[in-house]
Structure 1
Amino acid sequence: MKQLLEFIPLILFFAVYKLVGIREAALTLIIATVIQLIVLKLKYGKIEKQQLIMGVAVVFFGTLTAYFNELEFLKWKVTVVYAVFALALLISQFGFKKPLIKQLLGKEIQLPHAVWEKLNLAWVGFFLLCMLVNIIISRYFSDDIWVDFKTFGILGMTLVATLLSGVYIYRYLPKTDE
């Protein structure tokens, strides 16, 4: 339910962009994101840092997009958010010696520290890849192609990265005799 709720603003943005235009799509994205954050707070009692960062970025870059009627601001939001995520993972690992991935998932999964570090760096690579692909598509392809990529391409890339992470950590999970 929580994951589905997170995709509703993106789906609404996509539909309104295709049917009406960028200004209305940006306003829809902002309103849907604010409602989403309120629902998450009411239903789960808190808003995760990642969701809050995304929400603030959507409101900031979405407002600029709606005001100037220019998609370029939302294109930069994707780049900036992924750069922030990659930087946070790098700082957690090399600055604090505590991989952020472990802090996020370590309550549910027990893995050796070296595995957490590799997984953390893999997600840094993923965020940097998404950032670079976003820059390339936003610069060299049409706005319509970028919206399709943002809606479906990044979602697909995230699904693949999540599955690969699961395959990687599976061999390090404790084995049970059942």
Structure 2
Amino acid sequence: MKLFFDLFPIILFFAAYQLYDQLPPDIVAGLDRIPFLVLIPGAPENAILFATAVAILASVLQVGLYFFKHHRFESMHLVTLGLVVVLGGATLMFRDPTFIKWKPTVVNWLFGLAFLASQLFTRKPLVQRMMSTAITLPTSIWNRLNGAWIIFFLVSGLANLYVAYAFTEAVWVNFKLFGMLGLTLLFVVGQAFYLTRYLNPSEE
């Protein structure tokens, strides 16, 4: 359930993009009521502009619902909201999808920098702070695990840029949801297999 909630804006972005061409003309005409969304009849960028506006609204709703339920904010949601508002807003203002296409890369690289900074400048790397209540590992293994996450974020950001510039917009939209999610799941499964050698029966 939490995974679905975290992916909520991305799922709505994907759905809005896929469904735009199937919307009745009267509904499309009413979309101009969404702030900063200007759709020019027949313009090829209309679908991604609409999807971007939906993603911005979904991110605002996501942060609001999380705060309403938990009375606090989650860092990942705030980072995502800030970037989707800035880059998505630029996409709507300049009618240029390039800005929103950079958003997954910027998110991944920011998290990669956070993991790197935690390893260089703090006593415990971020991955240890996140997982130490569930598993006990030697310091060298925590550092190795943290380094793996840094590489993962770097590679994910590069993969997003490659798909964004080497393939069509429709392919990138699919990759943004299914490709990035697939890469993350493969990495997490690989990490789980790696950690099994360090688990005792109680931790398993």
TM-score range, shorter chain: over 0.9
- Check the 8 A contact 1:22/1:70 in 2, yes or no: no
Map 1:41-60 → 2, pairs under 5 A: 41-60=67-86
* Residue of structure 2 in register with 1:61 after alignment: 87
1:15 maps to a residue whose letter is: A
Give the count of matched residue pairs. Answer: 177
Indicate which of 98, 117, 131 corresponds to 2:124.
98
* Correspondence 1:172 to 2:198: yes
* Separation in structure 1 between the aligned mates of residue 76 and residue 129 of structure 2, nearest angstrom: 13
* Residue of structure 2 in register with 1:2 after alignment: 2
* Separation in structure 2 between the aligned mates of residue 59 and residue 32 of structure 1, nearest angstrom: 11
* Residue of structure 1 in register with 2:37 after alignment: none
TM norm structure 2: 0.81
* Correspondence 1:151 to 2:177: yes
- Check the 8 A contact 2:62/2:77 in 1, yes or no: no
* Separation in structure 2 between the aligned mates of residue 32 and residue 39 of structure 1, nearest angstrom: 10
* Separation in structure 1 between the aligned mates of residue 149 and residue 129 of structure 2, nearest angstrom: 14
* Residue of structure 1 in register with 2:42 after alignment: none
TM norm structure 1: 0.92
1:114 maps to a residue whose letter is: S
Shift in Å at residue 175 of structure 1? 2.3
* Residue of structure 1 in register with 2:137 after alignment: 111
* Residue of structure 2 in register with 1:128 after alignment: 154
- Check the 8 A contact 1:22/1:66 in 2, yes or no: no
Map 1:78-97 → 2, pairs under 5 A: 78-97=104-123
* Separation in structure 1 between the aligned mates of residue 12 and residue 104 of structure 2, nearest angstrom: 17
Shift in Å at residue 158 of structure 1? 0.5
- Check the 8 A contact 1:62/1:74 in 2, yes or no: yes
- Check the 8 A contact 1:115/1:169 in 2, yes or no: no
- Check the 8 A contact 2:59/2:81 in 1, yes or no: yes
Gaps of 5+ in 1: none
Taking only the aligned residue pairs, the percentage that are identical comes to: 39
1:85 maps to a residue whose letter is: F
Larger displacement relative to structure 2 (133-142 or 24-33): 133-142
Structure number with greater Rg is: 2
* Separation in structure 1 between the aligned mates of residue 74 and residue 138 of structure 2, nearest angstrom: 25
* Residue of structure 2 in register with 1:27 after alignment: 53
Secondary structure of 2:199's aligned partner = coil
Shift in Å at residue 120 of structure 1? 0.5
Indicate which of 50, 75, 81 corresponds to 2:101.
75
- Check the 8 A contact 2:115/2:126 in 1, yes or no: yes
